[in-house]
Amino acid sequence: MKELLDYSREHSDEILTTLRDMVELESFSSDKAGVDTFSAYIRDKLEEVGAEVQTIPQDEAGNHLMADWGDRHEQVLILCHMDTVWPTGTLREKPFRIEDGLAFGPGILDMKAGIANSIHALKAIRSLELKTKQRIRLLFNSDEEVGSPTSRELIEREAKRSTHVFCLEPGAGINGALKVGRKGVGMFQVRVTGRAAHAGNEPENGISANEEMAHQVLALHKLTDLGLGTTVNVGVMQGGAVRNQIAPNAEALVDLRVVTAAEAERVTKEILSLKPKLSGASVDITGGLNRPPMEKTQLTSELLEQVRKIAGPLGIELEEAHVGGGSDAQFAAAAGVAVLDGLGGVGEGPHADHEHISVDALPQRTALLASLLVGE
């Protein structure tokens, strides 16, 4: 809708100011106070545009926000997460800056640009006195970057109540492709128990947990099948206490990525059934699938075509992509509703030092979201 695009471009400085404010409010997942300060800012902004906002308190994680806009019976769900991977204090080393049409800052792409889009999309609709076809329910959670342990049930519940779901994670690549498929994410912990002994005097009496863990790492990595899109990675490993002792204990954290639910089931079974190689050692493996795979469905394809028809007149050509990273869109998709992910910022480097967005794309994406909500 050209009217919304013109409005968003006319107010691009305002959108960018909101985004800068948000980047400068650090919201590291493990910093409850920081995330709560950020959520209070978001609440104020939503109330300014007429949304009814509910704070959902959390004991340890940051508080979640749920907002409603409009009074229609059917609802569309917008998913955003407020937390970032950047520890509090990162801003001192990586302050917000604009350079060559790009805006940089911790969390700017993943996913504070998407949050700015959501606020200003509602503001544009209200300012132009337009109507939405459905009630807009917005869910801002505080723990996506750590697996959404306290918000998963909320996401699944609200997805089931919605006709479709828009997730405002960043688009894929420099063209901002929409994400129609995501790999499922599994998280496992491996604990090995051996037997301590003096490394010099009585090594034969010991059972090295580190040696056993080495066998387990090799077995785990052999489960990777790049042809199927399956990866198993031991990302963290530690064992033993001192240099001159046969290590009695070792632990490792394992990441699994899979394209399909069937592959997730197969590989999970393989991981959980691993046995020790050394006599006398024991291996305990816990964990499982955290985020189910998001596979492209007929519902997704139909929604994508509707979105493309609306994006075309705005001068936006939307590509589609399958990606390996996880998001809350996967929980929504598993609820059986149509989901489109990647409607947020356009840029590169999520979780990386060079994380940035395209400044020119910011009002464009705001107008796209507003147009989708209006249905024109």
Greatest extent of the chain over all pairs of C-alpha atoms, in Å: 83
Q: Cα(278)–Cα(207) distance, rounded to whole angstroms?
A: 8
Percentage with pLDDT > 70 across the chain: 100
pLDDT bucket at 313, cuts 50 / 70 / 90: very high
Element (H, E) at 154: helix 152-160
Q: Among 376, 372, 231, which residue's Cα sits nearest to residue 303?
A: 372
d(CA 249, CA 272): 19
Spatial CA neighbour of 66 closest among 151, 125, 128: 151
- For range 196-204, the mean pLDDT: 97
- Specify whether the CB–CB gap between 106 and 42 falls below 8 A: no
Buried/exposed 282-320: b ≥16 CB within 10 Å, e otherwise: ebebebebbbbbbbebeebeebbeebeebbeebebebeb
| Residue range 216-239, pLDDT digits in tens | 999 999 999 999 999 999 999 999
Count Cβ atoms below 10 Å from residue 83 Cβ, excluding itself: 27
CATH architecture of 184-291: 2-Layer Sandwich (3.30)
Assign a CATH topology to domain 2-181+293-374: Aminopeptidase (3.40.630)
The model's pLDDT over 156-176, given as tens digits with 9 standing for 90+, comes to 999 999 999 999 999 999 999
Span 121-161, pLDDT tens digits:
999 999 999 999 899 999 999 999 999 999 999 999 999 99
Mean pLDDT of 277-291: 97
What number of CA atoms fall less than 13 Å from residue 93's CA on the CB side? 8
Q: Which of 95, 30, 23 is nearest to 58 (CA)?
A: 30
pLDDT confidence band for 376 (50 / 70 / 90):
low
Q: How confident is the model at residue 374 (pLDDT cuts 50, 70, 90)?
A: very high
What is the rounded CA–CA span in Å between residue 311 and residue 370? 11
Kindly report whether the global pTM for this prediction surpasses the value 0.95.
no
Strands 52-56 and 64-69 turn out to be: antiparallel
What residues does each domain of the chain span? 2-181+293-374, 184-291
pLDDT mean across residues, the chain: 97
1 confidence band (pLDDT: 50, 70, 90): confident
* Cα gap 237→264, rounded to integer Å: 23
